[in-house]
Amino acid sequence: MSEEKISEAVSPPVLEFDHNVIEHLGIRLYQNKPGSVLAEIVANCWDADAEHVYITISPSGAPSHERLLSVADDGFGMNFGAIRTRYLVIGKPKRTGPKMRSPGGRGPMGRKGIGKLAPFGIARSVDVISCADGKISWFTLDLDDLIAAGKQGGAYPPKFTLENQDLSVSLPVDAPIDVVGFVDRVRGSEKKTGTLIRMRRLTSNQDLATEAIEIALASKFTVVLNRDDFAVTINGQPIDKNRAIPAFELRIPPEGYSTEKLAAGEVKYWVGFVGSAEWAADEAGVGVFAHGKSAQDRPFFFGAKGKEVFQRYMYGAVEADWLDEFERDLISTDRSSLDWSSEELGEFREWGRQKVGNWLGSYAAHRAGKHVAEVRSRAATRRAAHEIAVYSPHENEQIDLLVAEATKELGKNQADVADELLAAVSQAWVNLPTRSLLKDLWAGLGEAPSGSASFLDVTSKLQQHSVPEAMGLAMTFAQRAYALSLLHRLVHQKSEENLQELIESFPWILQPRGDLLTADRHLKTTIEHSALDDATKDRAGREIKGMTERERADFVFLTDAAKKTIQIVELKAPARELTAENDRQLRDYLDFTRAFHPTAVLSGLLVGHPGNPAIQTNDTRISIRGWDEILLECRATYVDLLASMLERADPAPGDTRMKLVMEFGGEPVWELLNHIAKKDENLADLMERFDHLKESGKDSIDDTGMLQIAQAS
């Protein structure tokens, strides 16, 4: 006979224990944790091969003495012998081995045999009604009586309402309606088995609302959602996934689970990130599950470091059944944490640390892209409404990216801060606060009598506040001088087409001290279309028409806004010697353009390798220059301008902008400034002031072109 069958013929069932067991493994372990209590009971339902679990919660407005929380299932139930030898024996292991399976083939969640004490964390009376083998038993455990009995020797006989009676027995006339409903459901079922746990005289002050219970169960199990073989309802309604699990803006993978193999066994996982973390910090992170039940509660991140600001948006589940199948139990009593110091979990811990880091990185990238799009949209709306300054599309984009980068890791006030920063950066982009101040100072200068104290005071302030402008120009000139240092070497490697694009983008290379002309592609297109017209009678037009497309591509048109000044530039690669034919083609362009702009100041510039002897032109409108000459002169000009701005600003020894001038200009430009300083006492004093910025051991100028600049300066 089985242990359960033998026990039916011996002494009455009794619960034996020490009162401290009830205190520590029941009351204190689960005190005011209805979600954890329900998790233990639902786990027992799973272990009993139940297919349906029915949770009933009394209405929130019910009097405290009438509050009820019950869990019923259609599992295999307990006969009288099982109640006596297993349920009423605290701490009796539920498994015969670490990899044991239930009769239905499930990996059991229970292991230690103490979950039966969990209800006393929130209730003072617990009714157990169980049906199996055509019999029904109904007994009550009272917490006050349990504690008293524990102090007197630790033997407590439960109060039986029905003791091993036929399932067809009549229930007491005062049987609660939920008990009657449970028994009727069992009697009408095919298996005629199941268990009901009723918790009365509730002591928990926690929220028992349906949504709160759903969230709690979803955080404790991976088997309470979307399964055909284990359906959980609360007050008759299935658990709502949309309420139990957050809505994610990023999920990895988008649907279902990803699966990976470790040496210890298979790991399944999914992780999601919410757009707004409205929950408490301890609800975020990764939950680790074994056999469908929590083995490591949130908040948990496998010890991953970095991007902690995004951890509170994470909610994930990692399943590894083998965690609950070691000979040594690695899961804490309340199944809230794993023994991460154990050698068996080393590989798993490192796997999780790397995964969390990758997940957070993916979310950071997702969030950055989304945030950039949001900032762009808000900025476009504000620019359209003239709430912030508008610049070129490229500058607007740079401002948007700068603001997005600065505010990407902010929390709830991210949008408001981004709006404020958009306004501030848009003003700072053109140094608007300083420019407004200077405008007011200039206005004050006009109102102050010459020679008066107020006039001298305004003049002094103008000088002080012109420093930002001078230092800003100094950094610009340093950058241009550096660019020309590179171009001096690179231009010999470029084709005419590359050089044309270069000059059209940076016309200041040709005119460092002249009028600021810009590339006018429309004018060039208009002139060439007119020359290519079959009806043209103009000799110069016919000559242009006879040029190859490649030859016409060598020309760049530079104009002022009103087209009162037009310079036509013909560009040839440094490796090709200029010829008389090049001179003639440029004259044809000048002649043909004159017909369309008779009052404009026209000039031509032929750039290339002048040859030896150098090519000459008889047209006074045309200048012929070599690339080296142009680049060296331009570079010398910007170094001169840089020196002038530095003298004008007269920066203090610790001014950070001087370091930027050094970085932007580079070592060659710094050496040129020192060369100019040999003839300029004021600049010499300034350079000595910042001599510490120059790294010792750097090579001075060794290229002929740079030396020519120094001599010219």
pLDDT in tens, 262-278: 999 999 999 999 988 77
Mean predicted confidence (pLDDT) in 111-125: 77
Buried-state track 522-557, b at ≥16 Cβ within 10 A, e below 16: ebbeebbebbeeeeeebebbebbbebeeeebebbbb
pLDDT digits (tens, 9 = 90+) for 202-240: 886 666 777 888 888 888 888 877 778 899 989 988 888
Residue % of the chain over a pLDDT of 70: 81
Query: Does 257 share its domain with 163?
Result: no
pLDDT, residue 92, reads 65
Query: Does 155 share its domain with 224?
Result: yes
pLDDT digits (tens, 9 = 90+) for 144-156: 888 787 777 667 7
pLDDT, residue 464, reads 56
Q: Is residue 385 part of a domain?
A: no
Query: Does 560 share its domain with 588?
Result: yes
Top-confidence residue, 12 or 245: 245
User: Rounded to whole angstroms, how far apart are CA atoms 137 and 183?
Assistant: 11
User: Rounded to whole angstroms, how far apart are CA atoms 326 and 510?
Assistant: 79
Q: Which of 271, 287, 276 is nearest to 215 (CA)?
A: 287
Query: Does 24 share its domain with 127?
Result: yes
Asked whether residue 478 carries a pLDDT value surpassing 50, the answer given is: yes
pLDDT digits (tens, 9 = 90+) for 415-444: 777 788 788 777 767 666 555 655 565 566
Contacts by residues 391-399 (CB-CB < 8 Å, ≥ 24 positions apart): 391/426, 391/429, 395/429, 399/425, 399/426, 399/429
Identify whether the C-beta of residue 578 lies closer than 8 Å to the C-beta of residue 611. Answer: yes
pLDDT, residue 538, reads 78
pLDDT, residue 272, reads 94
User: Rounded to whole angstroms, how far apart are CA atoms 472 and 467?
Assistant: 8
pLDDT interval class at 281 (50, 70, 90): confident
Q: Which of the residue ranges 177-181, 522-526, 655-659 would you say has the lowest mean pLDDT?
A: 655-659
Q: Is residue 289 part of a domain?
A: yes
Per the prediction, the chain carries an average pLDDT of: 81
pLDDT digits (tens, 9 = 90+) for 485-500: 777 777 777 667 777 7
Asked whether residue 563 carries a pLDDT value surpassing 80, the answer given is: yes
pLDDT, residue 516, reads 66
pLDDT interval class at 117 (50, 70, 90): confident
Q: How many CB atoms lie within 10 A of CB 151?
A: 11
Top-confidence residue, 200 or 468: 200
pLDDT digits (tens, 9 = 90+) for 64-89: 667 889 999 999 999 999 888 888 87
Top-confidence residue, 314 or 448: 314
Asked whether residue 31 carries a pLDDT value surpassing 90, the answer given is: no
Mean predicted confidence (pLDDT) in 694-711: 42
Q: Is residue 438 part of a domain?
A: yes
Asked whether residue 19 carries a pLDDT value surpassing 60, the answer given is: no
Domain range for residue 441? 434-465
pLDDT interval class at 335 (50, 70, 90): confident
pLDDT, residue 704, reads 41
pLDDT, residue 227, reads 79
Query: Does 124 share its domain with 208?
Result: yes
Q: Is residue 393 part of a domain?
A: no
Decide: pTM greater than 0.75. Answer: no
The top-scoring range by mean pLDDT among 97-101, 153-157, 304-308 is: 304-308
Boundary (domain end) residue, out of 188, 221, 240: 240
- Which CATH number does the domain housing residue 43 bear? 3.30.565.10
Query: Residues near 292 by Cβ (< 8 Å), separated by ≥ 6?
Result: 46, 107, 109, 221, 222, 223, 319
Q: Is residue 360 part of a domain?
A: no
Helix (H) or strand (E) holding 391: none
Query: Does 644 share its domain with 518?
Result: yes
Sheet holding 565-571, edge to edge: 518-519, 555-559, 565-571, 601-608, 622-626
pLDDT, residue 6, reads 42
Q: Is residue 336 part of a domain?
A: yes
Query: Does 504 share its domain with 544?
Result: yes
pLDDT, residue 101, reads 84
Query: Does 40 share its domain with 58?
Result: yes
Number of domains in the chain: 4
pLDDT interval class at 512 (50, 70, 90): confident
Query: Residues near 576 by Cβ (< 8 Å), separated by ≥ 6?
Result: 608, 609
Q: Which two tokens stand for residue 398?
A: 């740079």
Q: Which of 460, 33, 368, 370 is nearest to 206 (CA)?
A: 33
User: Rounded to whole angstroms, how far apart are CA atoms 398 and 373?
Assistant: 13
pLDDT digits (tens, 9 = 90+) for 624-682: 988 888 888 888 888 888 888 888 888 887 788 888 888 877 787 888 888 888 888 88
User: Rounded to whole angstroms, how far apart are CA atoms 448 and 444?
Assistant: 6
Query: Does 452 share its domain with 577?
Result: no
Query: Does 265 share its domain with 197?
Result: no
Residue % of the chain over a pLDDT of 90: 28
Q: Is residue 56 part of a domain?
A: yes
Query: Does 279 share its domain with 327?
Result: yes
Boundary (domain end) residue, out of 240, 262, 296: 240
pLDDT digits (tens, 9 = 90+) for 585-597: 999 999 999 988 9
Q: Is residue 377 part of a domain?
A: no
pLDDT, residue 602, reads 93
User: Rounded to whole angstroms, how far apart are CA atoms 441 and 443?
Assistant: 5
Query: Does 220 share its domain with 146?
Result: yes
Buried-state track 237-268, b at ≥16 Cβ within 10 A, e below 16: eebeeeebbbebebebeeeeeeeeeeebeebb
Mean predicted confidence (pLDDT) in 386-411: 81
Q: What are the residue ranges of helices labelled H in 385-466? A: 393-407, 414-429, 432-447, 453-465
pLDDT digits (tens, 9 = 90+) for 376-391: 999 999 999 988 888 8
Boundary (domain end) residue, out of 194, 216, 240: 240
User: Rounded to whole angstroms, how far apart are CA atoms 255 and 241?
Assistant: 14
pLDDT, residue 241, reads 81
